[in-house]
């Protein structure tokens, strides 16, 4: 994640495809997030996807399942730049996630960096990021962001909007969602943490930039394929 004026843009990888991962990395995205929570990738394919992304000069993020902190630690062993733990609703849950990612005395991660030991000198330190995406997490945002060792927070606007009683996609930029996100940004800023947010097809970018968020995930690979395919087909049909 970044705190520089330049916006850092990432892409979400739904497909379990080395080719798709590599294509996203070479297209200029700063980072690519491998999604084990909602995508089709699995633990057995993570290593190849990490290599594909990092080999093309982009950072590799991995989102794990909320209840699988063992895989979070393993992804760090495999050299992921950032590991994302979703559905963190309290400071206690944030502390548990961080503890799983750190060695004693700061945590209980087992020693075995494997591929992480091969990371080039000068590579930014690996980070554990938690997702804030419900009302309870917003209410506890200050305590979550105060968690020692936390590497940042990622706002999940869809689940947050639903938790606030709104609908997706209609209310993603409602006053309630924007106000909740603003509270997260303020809490993170108070503790020196950067905030990332998902922006789908990009229409949410102005809203997130307006709140001071400078690490933004754009659409997933499957969505990009569908949108590009539809656009190419529409263009072809215009000429016959």
What residue has token string 């990888």?
Answer: 13
Rounded mean pLDDT of the chain?
A: 96
Residue 214 near residue 2, CB atoms below 8 Å = yes
Which tens digit of pLDDT belongs to each residue from 215-224?
A: 999 989 999 9
**Partners of 198 in beta bridges:** 217
Q: Which of 154, 140, 145 is nearest to 191 (CA)?
A: 145
Residues 6 or more apart whose Cβ sits within 8 Å of residue 216: 7, 8, 9, 10, 196, 197, 198, 199, 205, 208, 209
Which residue would you say has higher pLDDT here, 45 or 201?
Answer: 45
Q: Give the integer Cα–Cα distance in Å for 230 and 235.
A: 9
Residues 6 or more apart whose Cβ sits within 8 Å of residue 11: 24, 27, 29, 31, 32, 33, 217, 218, 219, 220, 221, 224
pLDDT for residue 4: 47
Residues 6 or more apart whose Cβ sits within 8 Å of residue 96: 69
What residue has token string 């979550």?
Answer: 144
- The third-level CATH classification (topology) of the domain covering 8-238 is TIM Barrel (3.20.20)
Report residue 6's pLDDT band, with 50, 70 and 90 as the boundaries.
Answer: confident
Please list the active-site residues.
Answer: 38
Residue 187 near residue 141, CB atoms below 8 Å = yes
pLDDT for residue 5: 62
Which own/partner contact pairs does 223-231 have at CB distance under 8 Å and 24+ positions apart? 223/14, 224/11, 227/201
Report residue 201's pLDDT band, with 50, 70 and 90 as the boundaries.
Answer: confident
In this predicted structure, the answer to whether residue 209 has a pLDDT above a threshold of 70 is yes
Question: Domain residues of the chain, as ranges?
Answer: 8-238
- Which whole number is the average pLDDT over 193-215? 95
């Amino acid at each position: 994640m970044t705190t520089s004026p330049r916006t850092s843009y990432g892409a979400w990888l739904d497909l379990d495809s080395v080719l798709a991962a590599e294509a996203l990395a070479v297209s200029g995205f700063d980072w690519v997030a491998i999604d084990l929570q909602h995508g089709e990738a699995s633990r057995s394919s993570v290593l190849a996807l990490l290599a594909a992304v990092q080999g093309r000069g982009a950072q590799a993020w991995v989102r794990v399942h909320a209840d699988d902190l063992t895989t979070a630690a393993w992804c760090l062993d495999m050299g992921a730049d950032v590991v994302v733990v979703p559905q963190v609703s309290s400071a206690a849950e944030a502390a548990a996630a961080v503890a799983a990612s750190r060695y004693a005395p700061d945590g209980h991660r087992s020693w075995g960096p494997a591929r992480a030991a091969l990371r080039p000198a000068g590579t930014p330190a690996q980070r554990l990021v938690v997702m804030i995406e419900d009302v309870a997490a917003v209410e506890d945002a200050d305590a979550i962001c105060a968690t020692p060792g936390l590497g940042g927070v990622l706002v999940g606007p869809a689940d947050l909007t639903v938790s606030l009683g709104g609908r997706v996609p209609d209310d993603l930029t409602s006053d309630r969602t924007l106000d909740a996100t603003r509270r997260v940004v303020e809490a993170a800023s108070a503790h020196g943490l950067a905030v990332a947010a998902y922006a789908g097809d990009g229409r949410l970018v102005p809203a997130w930039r307006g709140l001071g968020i400078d690490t933004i995930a754009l659409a997933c690979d499957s969505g990009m394929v569908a949108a590009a395919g539809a656009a190419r087909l529409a263009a072809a049909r215009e000429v016959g």
